[in-house]
Amino acid sequence: MEVNIEDDWVEIIGNAYRTDYDLTVHSKYSGVNLSENGIIPHVVEPSFGLDRIAMAVLLLNYDPSPSDRNWPLFRIPYKLSPFEIGIASIHHSDEYINIAEKVDLTLRSLGYV
């Protein structure tokens, strides 16, 4: 499964259908019979780790141009978010970093830590 984010594709789930190749080769070179009633099972190898889950949450909840703001933001559902508030500069320019720092100081002065 892949997710399209602004024409960039990111693989979220990798699935490899290995047939009986791995077990057949292993059986041949190890001398161990891995068949049951003459049948060697086929293997499906899924790949879906925590890093892919985290990437999916970030990518699927990133809004690069929201209609209610003049800047990009993440709209992570409350149940998935480990923080009540997070301030980060998505663009690495002094202007955006200064804005993020001002917002951070304002929120801290209001009691958010």
Which residue ranges make up each domain of the chain? 2-67
- Is residue 22 classed as helix, strand or coil in its secondary structure? helix
What's the confidence (pLDDT) of residue 54?
84
Give the closest residue to 50 by CA, choosing from 40, 58, 41, 42. 58
What's the confidence (pLDDT) of residue 2?
54
What's the confidence (pLDDT) of residue 10?
67
Give exposure, 83-95, as e/b (b: 16+ Cβ within 10 Å): eeeebebeeeeee
Give the closest residue to 76 by CA, choosing from 105, 90, 47, 55. 55
pTM attached to this predicted model:
0.45
What's the confidence (pLDDT) of residue 77?
87
Q: Average pLDDT by consecutive 10-residue portion of the chain (113 residues)?
A: 61 87 95 92 88 84 89 85 78 86 92 80
